[in-house]
Chain A
Amino acid sequence: DAKTTQPPSMDCAEGRAANLPCNHSTISGNEYVYWYRQIHSQGPQYIIHGLKNNETNEMASLIITEDRKSSTLILPHATLRDTAVYYCIPYNQGGKLIFGQGTELSVKP
């Protein structure tokens, strides 16, 4: 399984964009990049995923570099409810979801 590197913590002002980076330099060709988040004392919540192309949904945007060695999750207008730990996970569909240490995002008023 590919390993990931994420900053342990980040702060973001409410209403501003939150950009969460992730390095996954050992990702294999058939692994997608998935992002989950975990609000304190709850189960993880799926956010978005992608393989090569950038993706956008109602929650976030995902930017994947051309070499696929890193990606950035963008929350366009962060709110206090977006305070959570964000996990970037390379995933081979049909395999196991393995969580790294994630980034603890604090959205401040």
Chain B
Amino acid sequence: GAVVSQHPSWVICKSGTSVKIECRSLDFQATTMFWYRQFPKQSLMLMATSNEGSKATYEQGVEKDKFLINHASLTLSTLTVTSAHPEDSSFYICSASRGARVNEAFFGQGTRLTVV
């Protein structure tokens, strides 16, 4: 099946620094990518929808200035957590869609962010 790759798989950063997470669709062009956040023992929470060549659409309560999303090409979207704080520590997951059907959406393996 199609592959979506996230990088890095895990990252530890100091409080106040910024961290960039990459999401790549390896064998298809993704018109839309989604970013989720998951805290321990909780479900995935949709943060934003990223469309190639346009601004991301953020879900209610998600700070767009803190979580910068760039979808510069049909195979790459990036999420930058700016001025990270310990409460931003979480599991971040992206999905890439090559069509409107959700079974054509594939998830990355996730990125474990720990802010110390």
Contact = CB atoms under 8 A, between A and B. Distances in A.
Interface stretch (B14-22, B64-72, B95-103): B95-103
B112 A96 contact: no
Interface in A52-109: 85, 87, 89, 91, 93-94, 96-102
Given A41-B110, A96-B34, A97-B95, A46 B102 contact: yes
Interface of A: 32, 34, 38, 41-46, 49, 85, 87, 89, 91, 93-94, 96-102
Query: What DSSP secondary structure best describes chain A's contact surface?
Result: loop
Given A43-B93, A43-B109, A45-B107, A99 B102 contact: no
A41 B103 contact: no
B49 interface: yes
Given A44-B107, A96-B49, A102 B43 contact: yes
Nearest to B112: A41
A94 B34 CA distance: 12
Nearest to B42: A101
Interface of B: 4, 6, 34, 36, 43-46, 49, 91, 93, 95, 100-103, 105-110, 112
B44 A99 contact: yes
A28 to B, nearest CB: 15
A45 to B, nearest CB: 7
B49 A87 contact: no
Given A42-B110, A93-B101, A93-B102, A87 B93 contact: no
Contact of A99 (B43, B100, B112): B43
A43 B110 contact: yes
Given A43-B95, A43-B109, A96 B46 contact: yes
A32 B100 CA distance: 12
Contacts of A100: 43
Top 9 nearest A-B pairs by Cβ distance?
Answer: A43-B107, A94-B100, A99-B44, A99-B43, A44-B107, A93-B100, A46-B103, A43-B93, A91-B102
